[in-house]
């Protein structure tokens, strides 16, 4: 019996070694096919390659396929899915310290940084670029990572730190990377010192990009932003240059950015541009959803086909091989089961991570401003009503619990205060010794006929404006004026703060405002013409 078992074990080990070599060879063939593919099937072949490499216990090459899959997801706008795929690769790569693993890890963190920047998570963007630099040993890649890190720091207003990072990108010999360097360095210097003239560097970067026929829209965007307050006609000119180039290149993302600028700069064509923006934005969202579903379907189909192949192989072995080979197959099946169990566990962990990302985002969007408002009341009111503060905190707590249980948002009609009092209380809660708030025209008649859902959107918009004012504007006087003409409600916000640069309007705590305005079929106009302060006009129809 012992001899029989040794024979079976030898057959099994020999079969495993041959099978491993075959899988690695097949995996490499799929990987090469994915790299050379021009038909849009790269993700499919990388997925096949990844599965075979992991089955052959080659986690490094399997992770390389995963990172390439993540980059393809980023290119198609599936940013959350791309981050998840990179995280799956990172878990395998961080267990290894060899140079190849570190280079792949650097590429993976760079991809995660790019995805995070598109999701406006700039703190994560900075962290991931730093992690990419930690693992990278490629000089040219390091120059790019430092450049991109500097750009993210500019967005967060850390101009000194941005300049230090961008300086480290200077040694590059790549002309396009050099254009990025001079463009970003000039931006950082200008935002730090408004007397600095960045135009020579901006024009030089544009000249290099035009000569290379690549990335000129980055320069057009920079020049449009620079002239936004200095010369509206020039700002509009570069915005249209950006739009025309984006249309030639079929770049929907650049078209959306250009249209956002034109909407603010060209009031005569506002409606046409806004409708075009909405149409393009809808197309982008549909394309991203299709890409996300396509990637998920490919993974599912490959798993299904792989399962079918395994079943056929088992049947073939049962027909053509004797008891000894069947016994070896049973032993192999045991190890296959353990490997599959581990893979299922990893997939479940990924699903949990995905749910955590989704719920975390919703908690931030729904609850954060509510907590900030209560904190502002406690900070600003010397003799605040403890019971009222506790009630508000309890309500915010209930909303966070509902989110955790996947419950829908509560009906806005449950509030005990009427719409007028809720708005007045909200604005008054931000008043303190240094900031005075004033309300004009907030009468009950203003809100007659406004649906509960529309009012909730308006309430959240006003709260976002006040939170943004408290965090960024340094205003000493804030005025809200409410008017209603027939079935049109108009709200005018004015403060005497430092204002918002044109390219930061939707990155300065106001990321959800545009979505809410669209939900109530309204419009919002930012007026930064005055030297100091900010004026915003919001209007929407009463449905």
pLDDT, tens only, 191-202: 999 999 999 999
Do 51 and 367 meet the contact criterion of CB atoms below 8 Å apart? Answer: no
Mean pLDDT of 261-268: 89
Q: For the chain, give the mean pLDDT.
A: 81
Mean pLDDT of 465-487: 91
Q: How many CB atoms lie within 10 A of CB 372?
A: 15
* Least confident piece of the model among 14-18, 154-158, 279-283: 14-18
Give the DSSP per-residue string, 61-95: HHHHHHHHHHHHHHHTT-HHHHHHHHHHHHHHHTT
CA distance 136 to 110: 10
pTM of the complete model: 0.52
For 220-263, how does the pLDDT look when each residue is reduced to its tens digit (9 = 90+)?
999 999 999 899 999 999 999 999 999 998 888 888 889 999 99
> What CA–CA distances, in Å, run from 324 to 112, 309, 369, 465?
49, 22, 68, 75
| pLDDT (0 to 100) of residue 402 | 57
* Least confident piece of the model among 32-46, 172-186, 497-511: 497-511
| pLDDT (0 to 100) of residue 164 | 93
Q: Kind and range of the H or E element at 17?
A: helix 2-36
Strand partners, 541: 488
* Least confident piece of the model among 156-165, 227-236, 240-249, 347-356: 347-356
| pLDDT (0 to 100) of residue 413 | 45
For 285-332, how does the pLDDT look when each residue is reduced to its tens digit (9 = 90+)?
776 776 666 666 665 555 555 555 445 544 545 555 655 566 567 777
Please name the residues in contact with 521: beta carbons below 8 A apart, sequence gap of 6 or more.
540, 541, 543
pLDDT at 490 over 80: yes
Give the DSSP per-residue string, 383-403: T--HHHHHHHHHHHHHHHHHH
For residue 393, name the pLDDT band (cuts at 50, 70, 90): low
| pLDDT (0 to 100) of residue 306 | 53
pLDDT at 361 over 60: no
| pLDDT (0 to 100) of residue 414 | 46
For 431-473, how does the pLDDT look when each residue is reduced to its tens digit (9 = 90+)?
988 999 999 999 999 999 999 989 999 999 999 999 888 888 8
Do 93 and 105 meet the contact criterion of CB atoms below 8 Å apart? Answer: yes
For residue 523, name the pLDDT band (cuts at 50, 70, 90): very high
Higher pLDDT, 365 or 136: 136
Domains along the chain?
A: 215-269 (no CATH), 415-541 (3.30.565.10)
CA triplet 300, 303, 309: central angle to 5 degrees? Answer: 140
Higher pLDDT, 328 or 512: 512
Residue 103 tokens read as: 């280079």
Do 348 and 397 meet the contact criterion of CB atoms below 8 Å apart? Answer: no
What phi, psi does 279 have (nearest 5°)? Answer: -65, -45
Mean pLDDT of 29-49: 87
For residue 359, name the pLDDT band (cuts at 50, 70, 90): low
pLDDT at 177 over 90: no
| pLDDT (0 to 100) of residue 539 | 95
| pLDDT (0 to 100) of residue 215 | 83
Residue 111 tokens read as: 């991809």
| pLDDT (0 to 100) of residue 126 | 93
Helix axes 59-75 and 42-55, enclosed angle (nearest 10): 160
**Parallel/antiparallel/unpaired status of strands 534-541 and 523-527:** antiparallel
For residue 23, name the pLDDT band (cuts at 50, 70, 90): confident
Note the maximum CA span of the chain: 96
> What CA–CA distances, in Å, run from 468 to 56, 430, 461, 505?
53, 11, 11, 10
| pLDDT (0 to 100) of residue 269 | 85
SS3 131: helix
Strand partners, 535: 494, 527
For 68-123, how does the pLDDT look when each residue is reduced to its tens digit (9 = 90+)?
999 998 888 888 889 999 999 899 888 888 889 999 999 999 999 999 988 889 89
């Amino acid at each position: 019996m012992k001899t029989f078992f040794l024979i079976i074990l030898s057959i099994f080990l020999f079969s495993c070694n041959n099978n491993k070599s075959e899988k690695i060879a097949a995996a490499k063939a799929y990987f090469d096919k994915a790299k050379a593919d021009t038909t849009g099937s790269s993700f499919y072949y990388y997925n096949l390659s990844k599965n075979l490499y992991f089955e052959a216990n080659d986690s490094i090459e399997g992770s390389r396929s995963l990172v390439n899959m993540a980059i393809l997801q980023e290119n198609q706008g599936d940013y959350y899915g791309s981050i998840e795929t990179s995280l799956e690769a990172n878990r395998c790569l961080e267990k290894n310290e060899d140079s190849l693993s570190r280079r792949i890890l650097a590429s993976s963190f760079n991809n995660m940084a790019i995805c995070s920047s598109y999701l406006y998570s700039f703190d994560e963007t900075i962290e991931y670029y730093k992690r990419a630099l930690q693992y990278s040993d490629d000089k040219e890649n390091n120059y790019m990572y430092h450049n991109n890190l500097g750009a993210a720091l500019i967005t967060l207003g850390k101009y000194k730190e941005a300049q230090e990072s961008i300086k480290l990108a200077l040694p590059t010999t790549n002309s396009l990377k050099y254009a990025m360097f001079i463009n970003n360095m000039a931006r950082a210097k200008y935002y730090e010192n408004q007397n600095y003239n960045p135009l020579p560097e901006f024009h030089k970067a544009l000249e290099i990009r035009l000569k290379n026929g690549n990335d000129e829209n980055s320069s057009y965007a920079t020049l449009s932003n620079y002239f936004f307050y200095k010369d509206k006609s020039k700002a509009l000119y570069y915005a249209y240059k950006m739009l025309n180039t984006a249309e030639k290149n079929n770049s929907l993302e650049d078209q959306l950015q250009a249209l956002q600028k034109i909407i603010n700069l060209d009031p005569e064509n506002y409606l046409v541009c806004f409708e075009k923006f909405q149409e393009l934005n809808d197309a982008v969202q549909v394309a991203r959803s299709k890409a996300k579903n396509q990637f998920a379907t490919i993974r599912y189909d490959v798993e299904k086909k792989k399962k079918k192949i395994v079943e056929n192989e088992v049947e073939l072995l049962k027909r053509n091989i004797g008891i000894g080979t069947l016994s070896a197959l049973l032993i192999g099946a045991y190890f296959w089961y353990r490997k599959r169990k581990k893979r299922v566990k990893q997939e479940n962990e990924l699903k949990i991570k995905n749910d955590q990302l989704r719920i975390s985002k919703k908690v931030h969007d729904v609850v954060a401003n509510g907590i900030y408002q209560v904190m502002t009341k406690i900070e600003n009111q010397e003799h605040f009503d403890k019971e009222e503060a506790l009630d508000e905190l309890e309500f915010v707590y209930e909303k966070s619990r509902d989110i955790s249980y996947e419950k829908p948002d509560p009906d806005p009609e449950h509030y005990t205060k009427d719409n007028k009092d809720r708005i007045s209380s909200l604005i008054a809660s931000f008043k303190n010794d240094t900031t005075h708030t004033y309300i004009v025209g907030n009468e009950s008649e203003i809100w007659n006929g406004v649906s509960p859902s529309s009012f909730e959107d308006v309430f959240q918009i006003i709260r976002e404006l006040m939170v943004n004012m408290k965090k960024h504007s340094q205003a000493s006087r804030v005025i809200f004026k409410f008017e209603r003409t027939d079935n049109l409600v108009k709200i005018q916000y004015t403060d005497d703060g430092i204002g918002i640069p044109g390219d930061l309007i939707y990155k300065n705590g106001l990321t959800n405002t545009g979505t809410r305005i669209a939900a109530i079929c309204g419009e919002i106009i930012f007026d930064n013409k005055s030297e100091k302060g900010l004026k915003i006009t919001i209007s929407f129809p009463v449905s």
